Amino acid sequence: SGSGRRWKKNIAEQLRLRDRVQRQGFEDLIQAYNKLLEKSDLQTVLAERFQGDKYDLHNRHDISPGSDNMRNESLAQEVSQMRIRHQEELTELHKKRGELAQNVIDLNSQLQQKDREIHANEAKMLEYEKQIQQLQVECQDLRNNLQDLGQANQTLKDEYDALQITFNALEEKLRKTSDENRELITRWMAEKAQEANRLNAENDKDTWRRQAKLKKELAEAAKEPLNIDPCCYRNPWVSVTLTFFFQDAHDGEVNSVKFSPASRVVVTGGTDRKVKLWEVSLGKCELKGSLTGSNAGITSLEFDSTGAYLLAASNDFASRIWTVDDSRLRHTLTGHSGKVLSAKFLLDNARIVSGSHDRTLKLWDLSRKICKCLL
């Protein structure tokens, strides 16, 4: 309604402006035309007067042709001058009439141009009015959307504030829980360390007692030859003296001795980081070769069920596998954080279990070379 009133008011102002402009131009034209009409009437009056004067002169000439010749001549001259003057005025009036006609044509052309401009402006005004209405509708929609977004933003802000408060509370709870967890871990590690030290001390004592007992038994056995009963072993041909065998085997202590299940080979491992292969034949023990690769003393030796592979545990936190035939190192199993005390083949010969000073057991899959920690 407000836009309609503004549109009507604008049209009325345009019409009034056109009326003033066009009327102002036509006022001069109308005045000039009125003057032209007045002069035309004056010409008519003069012509009528001239005809009357001429008629009077003829009449007077007919009445007194002899006595008034001088007077008639003066009157004729006066009429001639009047005719010349009237002719000049008539020429001037025709000239002005042509000028006024041209002015009328020019003003009509300008008027038509103005009318076209007014029509074009009116069409543009209608188009602009439609655009204004569309923009007003869009503006109202945007205001509504802005209001909805403002409400949604306020709702999200409230939710964010609530979540922030909850997050701060949970973060504080997490911090306290982390502190308690670290404290518990510290206490647990201290207790485990104490327990590990105690167990290691007991293991060291047991190891020392076993070694002392083994030395004692070896010393007693070295005093006389040891005859092996063929019914007690898979190798009935073994008959050696332990005195010769253990005195010349290694540079240091011998920690493990194993017989091969499928040959006459005996392996020994000691603190000199070597694994030696011995062939027993006819009461003699001859060195067949040495297996190298360990960086610390050997703690345990084990053959697989076929006797083709030899497994050795070491104090360098690793276990190693050799092939007996060519004395080549095939696998090195690393993963313990302490010295490996024992390593054994399982029944399928594809898996190995190892035990370490770090109080863990590890299961090794040789087919895929994957280590799985059991404990």
Confidence of residue 39 (pLDDT cuts 50, 70, 90): low
Residue 148 has a pLDDT of 93
Residue 374 has a pLDDT of 53
Mean pLDDT of the chain: 79
Residue 46 has pLDDT above 80, yes or no: no
Is 337 a domain residue?
yes
Instruction: For residue 249, give the 3-state DSSP assignment.
Output: coil
Is 85 a domain residue?
no
- The three-point CA angle 59-64-65 to 5° equals 95
Over the stretch 159-211, which tens digit does the pLDDT of each residue have? Answer: 898 899 999 999 999 999 999 998 998 888 888 888 888 888 888 888 888 88
Provide mean pLDDT across the span 269-277: 89
pTM comes to 0.38
Residue 355 has a pLDDT of 92
Is 16 a domain residue?
no
190-227 b/e (C-beta count within 10 Å ≥ 16 → b): eeeeeeeeeeeeeeeeeeeeeeeeeeeeeeeebeeeee
Question: What's the total number of domains in the chain?
Answer: 2
Beta strand pairing call for 361-365 and 340-345 = unpaired
CB contact at 8 A, 318 and 279? no
Same domain, 196 and 122: yes
Same domain, 98 and 197: yes
Confidence of residue 229 (pLDDT cuts 50, 70, 90): very low
Residue 56 amino acid letter: D
Highest mean pLDDT among 213-217, 277-281, 316-320: 316-320
User: In sequence order, what are the beta bridge partners of 318?
Assistant: 334
Over the stretch 48-100, which tens digit does the pLDDT of each residue have? Answer: 666 665 555 555 555 444 545 677 777 778 778 888 887 888 888 888 888 88
Provide mean pLDDT across the span 228-234: 41
Query: End-to-end distance of the chain based on CA atoms, in angstroms?
Result: 87
Residue 350 has a pLDDT of 85
Instruction: For residue 258, give the 3-state DSSP assignment.
Output: strand
Same domain, 357 and 277: yes
The Cα–Cα gap between 352 and 343 comes to 7
Same domain, 95 and 202: yes
- Residue 209 has phi, psi (to 5 degrees) of -65, -40
Residue 321 has a pLDDT of 92
CATH number at residue 352: 2.130.10.10
Same domain, 270 and 351: yes
Same domain, 202 and 258: no
Is 317 a domain residue?
yes
For residue 269, give Cα distances in angstroms to 28, 109, 233, 266, 274: 138, 128, 21, 10, 6
* Least confident span in 3-17, 56-70, 76-90, 360-374: 56-70
Is 240 a domain residue?
no
Choose the final residue of a domain: 172, 206, 240: 206
Structure tokens at 168: 């701060």
Residue 255 has pLDDT above 90, yes or no: no
Residue 20 has a pLDDT of 74
Eight-class DSSP state of 228? P
Structure tokens at 272: 């000199």
Same domain, 104 and 191: yes
Residue 227 has pLDDT above 60, yes or no: no
Same domain, 201 and 105: yes
Over the stretch 319-343, which tens digit does the pLDDT of each residue have? Answer: 999 988 888 888 888 888 889 999 9
Same domain, 200 and 258: no
Query: What would the DSSP string read from start to end of 46-92?
Result: HHHHHHHHHHHHHHHHHH-TTTTHHHHHHHHHHHHHHHHHHHHHHHH
Provide mean pLDDT across the span 265-279: 89
Confidence of residue 275 (pLDDT cuts 50, 70, 90): very high
The Cα–Cα gap between 58 and 81 comes to 18
Eight-class DSSP state of 19? H
Residue 38 has pLDDT above 80, yes or no: no
Of all residues in the chain, the percent with pLDDT exceeding 70 is 77
Choose the final residue of a domain: 143, 174, 206: 206
Residue 243 has pLDDT above 70, yes or no: no
Same domain, 292 and 357: yes
Q: Tell me which residue range forms the domain holding 199.
A: 90-206
Residue 301 has a pLDDT of 93
Residue 16 has pLDDT above 60, yes or no: yes
Same domain, 111 and 195: yes
The Cα–Cα gap between 12 and 124 comes to 16
Same domain, 114 and 186: yes
CB contact at 8 A, 321 and 311? yes
Choose the final residue of a domain: 190, 206, 222: 206
Residue 250 has a pLDDT of 81
- The three-point CA angle 237-253-262 to 5° equals 30
Residue 241 has pLDDT above 70, yes or no: no
Query: What would the DSSP string read from start to end of 141-187?
Result: HHHHHHHHHHHHHHHHHHHHHHHHHHHHHHHHHHHHHHHHHHHHHHH
Residue 1 has pLDDT above 70, yes or no: no
Residue 372 has pLDDT above 80, yes or no: no
Is 45 a domain residue?
no
The Cα–Cα gap between 226 and 241 comes to 6
